A and B are shown apart, each in its own frame.
Chain A
């Protein structure tokens, strides 16, 4: 058991070990113009992931994508009608959850790529007729 490096939760800001460092701030706060602005760090999210997640919420809100000086994608979401703050908050939250899900699945996808390629190659190999007889020698 000595080689197991358990997670030290006292190192997690906001967890029980250091509750004074907890920061109460919503990432879904609205700007004065009523929009919600999210900055997708390029070190975490590939642009294709952001584009895909943005495409899934276009029916819930207006979406605008831009790049900041550091190359991160700035996603600005505004309500479709009036001041539907609850709907906009739900759409923005859904957008963030989609990004997290896609980030996790993209890692899994990369890990299993070789195995999936092997399975497809094996299936295709099995579907091809195998040469028999003296000409196959």
Chain B
């Protein structure tokens, strides 16, 4: 004797989940069940019936798990929507015109004064210890150039 496929009718109250969340949770059940959706004054009714007997042991519990997971995903999706929209708008917005100069942000007076002060320190201090005298020219280091014919040296 074969048992009949399990069936269930589950009312999801309107204030518990939206139609979209309920539909997505119901969609998760379609692998093992035949699903039908009905609307009532209190919410949405999920009708489930096993495709074959014995595939799902507890249709209500399984649907509840899916509804919980989809509700959490929907909540995270709703909370991060402004951020994702901003990222998408930034990524997909109008392309910058290469002829336009990049906009240099204006600095406040305090920051500008600080930068001027740092630049003055850099220019005034002998902070670069040129031990190898690489900043000096050949003439400064060795006097007259090594080649008499005016060339800078090198192979001929």
Query: Given that A97-B30, A97-B35, A99-B37 are contacting pairs, would A27 and B49 also be in contact in the complex, using a CB cutoff of 8 Å?
Result: yes
**Chain B interface SS verdict (over half):** mixed
Alpha-carbon separation in the docked complex, A89 to B8 (Å): 16
Place the interface of chain B in its size category: 35 or more
Contact A93 B49 (CB under 8 A): yes
Instruction: Report Cα–Cα, A100/B49, bound state, in Å.
Output: 14
* Residue from A8, A11, A43, A90 within 8 A of B39 (CB atoms): A43
Closest to B49 in A: A26
Tell me if B27 and A7 are in contact (CB < 8 A): no
**Would you call B64 and A9 a contact (CB within 8 A)?**
yes
In the complex, the answer to whether B44 meets A44 with C-beta atoms within 8 Å is yes
**A13, B7: Cα distance in complex, Å:** 14
B68 at the interface (CB under 8 A from A): yes
Chain B residues, Cβ within 8 Å of A23: 8-9
Kindly identify, within residues 31 to 70 of chain B, every residue whose CB is under 8 Å from any CB belonging to chain A. Answer: 34-39, 44, 47, 49, 51, 60-61, 63-64, 67-68
Indicate which residue in A43, A92, A97, A118 contacts B88 across the interface (CB closer than 8 Å): A118
Q: How far is the CB of B119 from chain A (nearest CB, A)?
A: 35
A14-B9, A38-B36, A45-B37 are known; give 15 further A-B pairs, CB within 8 A. Answer: A7-B17, A7-B64, A9-B64, A14-B8, A14-B11, A16-B60, A22-B60, A27-B9, A27-B49, A44-B37, A96-B36, A97-B35, A101-B30, A121-B92, A126-B95
